[in-house]
Structure 1
């Protein structure tokens, strides 16, 4: 029997779920139903391996504005999703190189812009860094330090539990182990989806499929440039005396590493997205050549961390936290960022199909999930609640309309996207 929905969301990660909850809440019980189509199980993709750091600092003023609103949403999620999620307001110390004048100027400009957006982000003296880290952190004269006190730390398992609970509370029809095979087009819209569980009719379609988007929509002529960039996460068992409880998250852009105290005496770390144009181009080339496509995310071998990666991380831990000595490895895993050529989201209405909307996080999905859900709900229902104060034009898929993504990898092309 064919199924009919007001809105069908493709992808059951944190962004797809957030869109489904927000749209269904706006629709109520009488105006239509929302379904999520998920090829595995709800939250099983990259959302299950997220570091779950929620911060507002971003090189794009509009992205920073959205992140600030999202942070407030995470603190009181129940009005949006019907559930709340525990969080810690750890704050974050940002570490930047101060050996060149251009770097110093860029961070000073960032500080000014964020403060204009009402985001608490300010330079710290070295002695203040030592006080905040309780003497655990190494500081050096040729580094700059900034403090963002409102940064939150969530826990991925609790987020997944909340997503699954909220799906039931909001009466979302979740179709798990369901593959989208093709689309039925009518005029300038998508009228139905052909799936492994039958034909599904939809008035509106939300693409929250992440790295699967490129292959999924290529058959109807859409160019959605998303690739996978590997990221490695590692946990180290350290003495509670070496990494004090309550230490802020350390966003170390000198060593290209995030550090956070996690679950007792565990020091968790992972690298940020690469801003090197060669690395980004390599990720797109690797994705295009991989016959498994985005399904590599579910490959059991992709979870392994090599000795070389582990040694690299150990060196960064010892360099930044000299009191630790040699920490004990306590497990790790291999994950991915789903990135775009310019490292910005793809957010908003499609330019070819009138009832298709994109919600792709470009490696930053979780922190923005609540506000992205509200923005997509604004577009579909026409309520305009959030879009009255947010301009999402810079994140439109229209910027990739000429299919030439190589221009984003020219020298200094990504400098403005340094966070």
Structure 2
């Protein structure tokens, strides 16, 4: 059956949902409708495996500014989505090396920039780190520590439940188990979306398909540089004597691991995105050779781990938490970051098709979801971003148009540390 919508969002993750809710709220109760096309079920992709940490620290001042706004939205989500989500505010301790070749000066510059943006982010003395962690962390002289107090911890199942509830409250048509086959398009834009459930017409189309974007839009000549970077997450059973409740999230850039006390008795950990240019290039080369494309996310093997991976993570836990003894492994899984060559989002209108908008999080989707939804709604309903403090030019897909992607990360990307 053919359907006509004001706006169709492709991708039912946290970004797609946020865009749909914000656009529909602006449209009000008139006849205009918004739909989400989702090939599985709402939130079934990477949003279902998110660490759900909301922070503001970022090497880009504009990304920092948007993250600060997003954090406030998460604290009071109901005006945007019609629902609120419970959260904790444990704050975060950031750990970095303090050696001549560790680029410690970049952390000092980051601290200065974040404070200029009104973000609480300040260096800690070793004794303060021990106090905040209740003596659980190991500190060493050649490390430096920072504290970001306004860091939130959400829970992924609660986020998915809120998305599903908000979709009903906002009268969004959620077309689940609906695959995009191809697009009908003219020079001006996309005229129709051919799906497994029929042809869908829309005045505006939002691409929130994450790692599926490259394959989806290649057929109409759009090059969207997104690839998957694998990440392993592991859970360990702990006691309050090992790691106290209320301990801040630990962003350990020495051991390349995030740690958090989760659901009362679990130490959850995962690795951050790799900033190494060779690793990023490797991820893009894997994308080219992977016949499954982004569907590898749903592979059952993603829930298996090797002894080598487990031993690696056990070593990181023991190294950072000396009181924990031998951690008790409680399960793990592979997830993925959807990354771009420079690890920055792709956000804003397409430069070739006038009714297409991109909302891709580059491994940081959840923390930015509310503000990205508002920005995309601004562009569609108002024609521009209404907040004068926000400039999304840095994140335009146009930044890749004059670069050979294979050369991008060698010449332009990662010139400074990117959180």
* TM-score normalized with structure 2 length: 0.98
Is the Cα–Cα contact under 8 Å of residues 7 and 205 in structure 2 kept in the other structure? yes
Name the CA shift for 1:314/1:411 in 2 (closer, same or farther; >3 Å).
farther
The correspondence of residues 363-378 of structure 1 with structure 2, limited to 5 A, is 363-378=363-378
The reply to whether residue 250 of structure 1 matches residue 250 of structure 2 is yes
Q: Distance in 2 between matches of 1:383 and 1:185?
A: 21
8 Å contact from structure 1 (residues 249, 260) kept in 2: yes
Q: 1:31 to 1:377 in 2, by over 3 A?
A: farther
Task: Encode CA deviations 1:15-43: one digit per residue, 9 max, x unaligned.
Answer: 00000000000001115100000000000
Instruction: Report how far residue 264 of structure 1 moved.
Output: 1.1
Structure 1 equivalent of residue 134 of structure 2: 134
Instruction: Determine whether 1:272 maps to 2:272.
Output: yes
Partner of 1:357: 357
- Residue aligned with 2:416, SS: helix
In the other structure, the counterpart of 2:202 is 202
3-state SS, counterpart of residue 351 of structure 1: coil
Partner of 2:9: 9
Aligned residues: 419
Any residues of structure 2 matched to 1:290-329 within 5 Å, and which? 290-329=290-329
Distance 1:399 1:384, change over 3 A: closer
Greater shift, 29-38 or 113-122, is seen at 29-38
For residue 410 of structure 1, give the secondary structure of its aligned residue in structure 2.
helix
Q: Is the 8 A contact 1:97 1:104 kept in 2?
A: yes
Please say if residues 223 and 403 of structure 1, whose CA atoms lie closer than 8 Å, have aligned partners that are also in contact: no
Q: C-alpha distance in 2, partners of 1:381/1:417?
A: 35
Gapped regions of structure 2 (runs ≥ 5):
none
Within the alignment, does 1:180 sit opposite 2:183 as a pair?
no
* 1:374-408 Cα shifts (integer Å, max 9, x gaps): 00000000175644220000100001113511233
Partners of 2:413 and 2:283 in 1: CA distance: 17
The answer for unaligned runs of 5 or more in structure 1 is none
SS of the residue 1:416 aligns to: coil
- The within-5 A match list for 1:16-415 is 16-30=16-30, 32-100=32-100, 103-382=103-382, 386-410=386-410, 413-415=413-415
Q: Note the alpha carbon deviations across 1:353-387, whole angstroms, 9 max, x for none.
A: 00000000000000000000000000000175644
For 1:281 and 1:383, the matched residues in 2 are separated by 35
The 10-residue stretch of structure 1 (155-164 or 97-106) with the greater mean CA deviation from structure 2: 97-106
Q: 1:307 deviation in Å?
A: 1.2
Task: Give the alignment's Cα RMSD to 1 decimal.
Answer: 1.2
Is residue 379–residue 385 contact of structure 2 (8 Å, CA) maintained in 1? no
